[in-house]
Amino acid sequence: MLKQRVVTALVLLAVLLPALLWHEPWPFAVVTLILIAAAGWEWARLNGVAGAAAWVTGALLAVACAATLAFGWTSHVPTAVWWLPALLWVAGGLWALRRGPAGWPHAARSLRWLLGPLLLWTAWLALAQAHAIGLNFVLSVLCLVWMADIAAYFGGRRFGRRKLAPAISPGKSWEGVWSGAAGVLLLALAWTWADRASGAASPSLYTRLLDAGGWAALVGGTGALVAMSVVGDLFESLVKRAAGAKDSSSLLPGHGGVLDRVDALLPVFPLALAMTSAARS
């Protein structure tokens, strides 16, 4: 299993890193488009849409992303567009978590099917625009999610006592959440210092928050993003539990499916764009 995880991770890095570092934005947009389309296929299967209909879901999502890219919308998105998925994640995500795995299947199948592609498309659009803003910015958002996950894992193992959502993800604890938030705050402090020291031409998420609203914006903004990364993770776990699935698929050997790897990113990127777009306006 460990060998599979390492090999899969190396293959993904070999594909993603050149696309991320390419001097034009379209290779990264295309690579992430393929991954998001695969996540759409997984979402359909987890919500009772199997066979050809699941493939059609992934294909339609790919077409929607490709059309967005072709028309140049990835670099010119009104601020209001980001607040819709951000608010949907806050309200809808918390509602679903309160209902739990048993309540999810009672929602209309058509609604559950539509929700996934909508959230995936807006997350891809936010990811593409974040990359268009600058490498420093998109990396700062990605690293926020990764740091929150890593710090929560180790903090939860060391200090975890109070369960966060035992019916959805028994391994997660409140102490892990606070550890993740502390880890991200340390990362933000180090990153803003590095931005200042290097005179970064394209500021990171953290520098933009600090410049817009001072320390309150930096601490509050990163805290809100960490909270939404937890919601994204728990929401995908909820959908899998409701479907009786351990992983979203087996597309990524040793890692599960694409949704298993991007779940925490889905709410974070639109919210990060909403925060920084509002700060610039």
Task: Tell me the residue range of the domain where 137 lies.
Answer: 2-280
Q: How many residues are present in the chain?
A: 281
Q: What local confidence, expressed as pLDDT, does residue 225 receive?
A: 97
| Spatial separation of the C-alpha atoms in residues 216 and 35, rounded to whole Å | 35
Band the pLDDT of 181: cuts 50, 70, 90. Answer: very high
| Spatial separation of the C-alpha atoms in residues 259 and 119, rounded to whole Å | 12
Q: What local confidence, expressed as pLDDT, does residue 278 receive?
A: 59
Q: What local confidence, expressed as pLDDT, does residue 3 receive?
A: 66
Please tell me which residue, 193 or 83, carries the higher pLDDT value. Answer: 193
Count: domains in the chain? 1
- Does the pLDDT at position 281 exceed 70? no
- Does the pLDDT at position 279 exceed 80? no
For residue 93, the 8-state DSSP code is I
Q: What is the pLDDT of residues 3-59, one digit of tens each?
A: 676 677 778 888 888 888 888 888 999 999 999 999 999 999 999 888 999 999 999
Q: Give Dmax over CA atoms of the chain in angstroms.
A: 54
- C-alpha distance from residue 11 to each of 143, 252, 258 (Å): 19, 10, 14
Q: What is the pLDDT of residues 63-119, one digit of tens each?
A: 999 999 888 887 777 777 888 888 888 888 888 888 889 899 888 888 888 899 999
DSSP output for 148-192: HHHHHHHHHHHH--SEEETTTEEEEEHHHHHHHHHHHHHHHHHHH
Q: What is the pLDDT of residues 18-33, one digit of tens each?
A: 888 888 888 999 999 9
- C-alpha distance from residue 65 to each of 68, 73, 94, 254 (Å): 5, 10, 27, 28
**How many CB atoms are located within 10 Å of the residue 267 CB?**
30
